[in-house]
Amino acid sequence: MSTTLAAVVRAPGEPVRVEEVTLPDVGPGQVRVRMAAAGVCHSDLSLASGKLAHPMPAALGHEGAGSVVAVGEGVTGLSVGDTVLLNWNPPCRACWHCGNGEPYLCANATDASRRVWGTLADGTELHPCLGVAAFAQETVVPAGACVAVPADIPPTEAALLGCAVLTGVGAVRNAARVRPGQSVAVIGLGGVGLAAVQGARIAGATTIIAVDPVEEKEELARSLGATHFLTPGDDLARRVRKLADGRGVDHAVECVGRAATIRAAWSCTRRGGTATVVGFGAATDQLTLNALEIPHFARTLQGCMYGSSDPAADVPELLKLYRDGELDLSSLVSRTIGLEDVGGALTDLHSGRGARSLVQF
């Protein structure tokens, strides 16, 4: 047993506080990681507020990287000292979806978030956010949640791969399958959307329309590959069509998580095009499509989970893009914070300002 500090939420909607947690020793198949960096993602806010259901009380954080400090019995391929990033959706490689080539839909991936991760001084048992609990000085995770990263990759950059980049770049490359010369609209320019903008540039899209209500995001979006920037509004679809040969974009990628922005993504898309939904919204937020427009526009509306990625295969490809200077990770970090600032950084997400806040340990 050992103690660590972690950002904890005791019940949905309660404040996030840094608390001392007793962690058990690594069990069979588990790995202990000393965290170096962890990004603050909108899903952490959604889980803490109760918008997305999650076992509670919970230790937050699911996008991070660090170094291995202990490995449990039976763990192969990982050693003390290795740099790893955390995969919050580790595939079991045994269920129907894993066998069907859809590891991102693994039926057993969420099991790790239901276990007891650690205990507060008053005996309260904590569950790890999405199985990993990255906002902690140290965390214990299943070995499958670790993806080894070469030692020369700074953990501050590797951390962002674990959620924002796998999700955003993956949505464009794996789910939308954007081809050279196509047009793409990205709605919502947080860490996930800004990664999607880069994914579109890397895929060879020639028209990349970035959409966000926060105008100060224009400069960063353009530097990462956007060719146009728009703020949302009732006539967004008309303005997008104007920039996309009057037809609408081949692909729209929704990175907000609201029915209204999913609707906007759908309406921006050309006849026969594809709208890909990446954002996680509330189960109560209803989307309306009429019975005529679906066949008439012949669009595809598809959901995308974790960038339809397999981190074991996708992380090495993303690292190659990073080394080649194609994928910019450091520009996604708008500020560096301490563990004690996580609660404030989550609240700040409401404003939409900044890209990623990154906790450095």
* Stretch binding ligand APR (CB under 6 A), from 9-17, 90-98, 181-189, 288-296: 181-189
Is residue 250 close enough to count as binding ligand APR by CB under 6 A? no
Q: What DSSP assignment string belongs to 300-355? A: EEEE-SGGG--HHHHHHHHHHHHHTT-S--GGGEEEEE-GGGHHHHHHHGGGT-SS
Among 191, 225, 273, 307, which residue interacts with ligand APR (rule: CB under 6 A)?
191
- Closest contact distance (angstroms) between CB of 333 and Zn ion is 15
Q: Which two tokens stand for residue 90?
A: 């580790």
Residue at token pair 């920037």: 229
Q: Given the structure tokens 């598809």, which residue do they identify?
A: 302
Asked whether position 256 contacts ligand APR by CB under 6 A, the answer is: yes
Calpha distance 117→289 (Å, rounded): 42
Q: Please, what is the minimum distance in Å from the beta carbon of residue 76 to ligand APR? A: 31
Q: Which is nearer to Zn ion, 109 or 163 (CB)?
A: 163
List the one residue from 82, 138, 157, 212 that touches ligand APR (CB under 6 A).
212
Residue 49 region by backbone torsions, left for phi larger than 0, else alpha for psi between -120 and 50, else beta: alpha
Rounded CA separation 151/161 (Å): 15
> Residue 303, interface with ligand APR (CB under 6 A)?
no
Rule CB under 5 A: which of 82-141 touch Zn ion?
Answer: none
Yes or no: say if 132 and 66 are a contact pair by the CB < 8 Å rule.
no
* Gyration radius from the chain CA atoms: 20
Closest to ligand APR by CB, 124 vs 231, is 231
| Contact partner at residue 190 from Zn ion, ligand APR, none, CB < 5 to 8 Å by partner kind | ligand APR
214 binds ligand APR (CB under 6 A): yes
What is the distance between the alpha carbons of residues 165 and 92, in angstroms, rounded to a whole number? Answer: 22
Q: Which is nearer to Zn ion, 61 or 103 (CB)?
A: 61
Scanning 87-95, 209-217, 287-295, 330-338 for contacts with ligand APR by CB under 6 A, the matching segment is: 209-217
The CB density around residue 72, as the number of other CB atoms within 10 Å, is: 17
Question: What residues make contact with ligand APR under the rule CB under 6 A?
Answer: 41-43, 46, 167, 187-193, 211-214, 232, 255-257, 261, 278-280, 349, 352
